[in-house]
């Protein structure tokens, strides 16, 4: 049986696709662009565009092999089951919680039965140097624009013992970097019978001797407690890279988003982190065109982002998500205005990225070499501790090693350096 899987959306969704593929390892897993008997489309619904892309992939699958069965899962499938079930290309809409039983689901659909794979690999291996580990799912916050919490439900944390075991095993196997992922990482542990926190989990992970690098995915501003910052500062293996969703730099819009912090709180947090981690890479998410966003409210966001030391931006155009409070709010912003504002912010994002890159020319960065960039140039590429993509000409022997690289120039927006 040939099975093809594809994913849209966040790292957690990618992790879950990997887990499904791993439990189906007794089948022949083929790229999504090839002919398969079963296609699994792991959808996303964070914006209207994600819904559109999900439907496109579903149609592509059936066009590639009209005889194939198409299974649709993920957050779009979770929130819009009726819409997707009505598509003629869809054979089955599978809820997120059934992803772990994909083998049984496929066996119930097809004549040929797949055996259970006993050798399940832990951790999502993004590129054989870096592994992703899911520490929680769901979210207890109530941001007014967010459909993810509807799709994923309430917070569910993995126990600290299970996380520590998985991280230790992966790092002992030779993975140089582990990335902790989830929907709302900062809420980790509050739902467990023995409540704990992300800070305490990090402290335990800091003691895993074989773990060279630990990276965190996105953390909400309100989750940066004093304890968390203190522990982060004390860890040797924590990457100085933080992704903190801002969403808006205007207090009134933040209030309407139900985000419980002000622009000034965010400004203070970033400056505090900058003092503790002067070379940190800092990313953020920002939503443009939230209902009622005026020109001056957008300027507040623009100015705050301009002022803060972001190294990259993810800009999202607001689109009303069914079932959310924001979808019912009056004064939805015109699409042309959203487009113009997004373009301005994306241009600012590019400028900020370049300014950040320039700081490190002449300096030495610690880089995990992941792979060959291409066969033509012979360049290798990897990510620095502070999330800069670096290119270097060297022998393949340094792949999956953490090297010190002296940056000598930026060429075509790429940072080039030499191993020291």
Please say which residue, 184 or 342, places its beta carbon nearer to ligand SF4: 184
Residue pointed to by tokens 């960065």: 365
E strands within 247-332? 281-288, 312-317
Q: Rank residues 92 and 244 by Cβ distance to ligand SF4 and give the closer one.
A: 244
Q: Answer yes or no: are the C-beta atoms of 201 and 232 closer than 8 Å.
A: no
CA dist 356 and 307 (Å) reads 13
Q: How far apart are alpha carbons 192 and 14 in whole angstroms?
A: 25
Q: Cα separation of 137 and 149, whole Å?
A: 9
What is residue 373's three-state secondary structure?
A: coil
| Closer residue to ligand SF4 (CB): 75 or 280 | 75
CB of 95 to ligand SF4, least distance (A): 18
CB of 255 to ligand SF4, least distance (A): 14
Q: How far is the CB of 184 from ligand SF4 (least distance, A)?
A: 5
* Residue number with CB closer to ligand SF4 (171 or 184): 184
- Helix, strand, coil share (%) of the chain residues, nearest 5: 40, 25, 40
Residue 269 CB, nearest approach to ligand SF4 (Å): 15
- Minimum CB separation of residue 46 from ligand SF4 in Å reads 9
* Neighbouring C-alpha atoms within 13 Å toward the C-beta of 245: 23
Best CA proximity match to 141, nearest among 74, 187, 89: 187
- In whole angstroms, the minimum distance from the beta carbon of 326 to ligand SF4 comes to 11
Cα separation, 177 vs 217, in Å, equals 13
- CA dist 259 and 251 (Å) reads 9
- What is the smallest separation between the CB atom of 142 and ligand SF4, expressed in angstroms? 6
Nearer to ligand SF4, 327 or 359 (CB): 327
Q: Which C-beta is closer to ligand SF4: that of 204 or that of 258?
A: 258
Q: Which is nearer to ligand SF4, 16 or 220 (CB)?
A: 220
- The size of the chain, in residues, is 420
User: Which C-beta is closer to ligand SF4: that of 80 or that of 217?
Assistant: 217
- Kindly tell me the burial class for residue 71, based on how many C-beta atoms sit within 10 Å of its own C-beta (0-12, 13-18, 19 or more): buried
- Residue 212 near residue 174, CB atoms below 8 Å: no
Q: Phi first, then psi: what are they for 259, rounded to 5°?
A: -100, -5
Torsion of CA 348, 354, 355, 359, to 10 degrees: 160
Please return the burial class of 255, using the count of CB atoms within 10 Å of its CB with bins 0-12, 13-18 and 19+. middle
Residue 329 C-beta: closest distance to ligand SF4, Å: 16
* Shortest separation between residue 259's beta carbon and ligand SF4, angstroms: 8
The encoded tokens of residue 111 equal 């004549």
Find the shortest distance in angstroms from Cβ 321 to ligand SF4. Answer: 10
Interface with ligand SF4 (CB under 6 A)? 139, 141, 143, 146, 148-149, 183-184, 220
């Amino acid at each position: 049986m040939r099975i093809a899987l594809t994913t849209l959306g966040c790292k957690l969704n990618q992790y879950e696709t990997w887990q499904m593929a791993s439990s189906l390892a007794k089948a022949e897993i083929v790229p999504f662009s090839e002919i398969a008997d079963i296609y699994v489309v792991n959808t996303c619904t964070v914006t209207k565009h994600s819904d559109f892309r999900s439907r496109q992939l579903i149609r592509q699958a059936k066009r590639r092999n009209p005889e194939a069965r198409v299974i649709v899962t993920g957050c779009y499938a979770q929130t819009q089951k009726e819409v997707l079930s009505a598509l003629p290309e869809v054979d089955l809409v599978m809820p997120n919680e059934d992803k772990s039983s994909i083998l049984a689901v496929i066996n119930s659909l097809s004549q040929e039965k797949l055996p259970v794979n006993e050798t399940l690999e832990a951790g999502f291996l993004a590129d054989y140097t870096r592994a992703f580990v899911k520490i929680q799912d769901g979210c207890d916050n109530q941001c007014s624009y967010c459909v993810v919490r509807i799709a994923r439900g309430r917070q569910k944390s993995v126990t600290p013992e299970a996380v520590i075991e998985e991280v230790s095993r992966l790092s002992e196997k030779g993975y140089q970097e582990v990335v902790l992922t989830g929907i709302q990482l900062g809420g980790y542990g509050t739902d467990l019978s023995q409540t704990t926190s992300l800070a305490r989990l990090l402290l335990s992970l800091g003691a895993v001797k074989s773990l060279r690098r630990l990276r965190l995915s996105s953390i909400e501003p309100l989750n940066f407690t004093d304890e968390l910052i203190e522990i982060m500062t004390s860890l040797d293996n924590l990457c100085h890279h933080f992704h903190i969703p801002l969403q808006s730099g205007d207090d009134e819009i933040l209030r309407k988003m139900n985000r419980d912090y002000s622009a000034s709180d965010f400004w203070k947090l970033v400056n505090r982190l900058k003092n503790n981690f002067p070379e940190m890479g800092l990313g953020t998410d920002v939503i443009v065109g939230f209902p009622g966003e005026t020109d001056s409210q957008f300027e507040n966001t623009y100015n705050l982002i301009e002022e803060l030391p972001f190294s990259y931006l993810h800009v999202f155009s607001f689109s009303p998500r069914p079932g959310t409070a924001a979808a019912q709010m009056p004064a939805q912003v015109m699409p042309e205005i959203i487009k113009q504002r997004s373009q301005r912010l994306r241009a600012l994002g590019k400028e900020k990225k370049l300014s950040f890159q320039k700081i490190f020319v002449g300096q030495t960065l610690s880089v995990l070499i992941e792979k060959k960039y291409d066969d033509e140039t012979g360049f290798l590429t990897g990510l620095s501790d502070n999330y800069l993509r670096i290119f270097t000409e060297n022998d393949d022997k340094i792949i999956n090693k953490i090297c010190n690289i002296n940056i000598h120039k930026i060429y075509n927006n790429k940072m080039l350096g030499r191993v020291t």
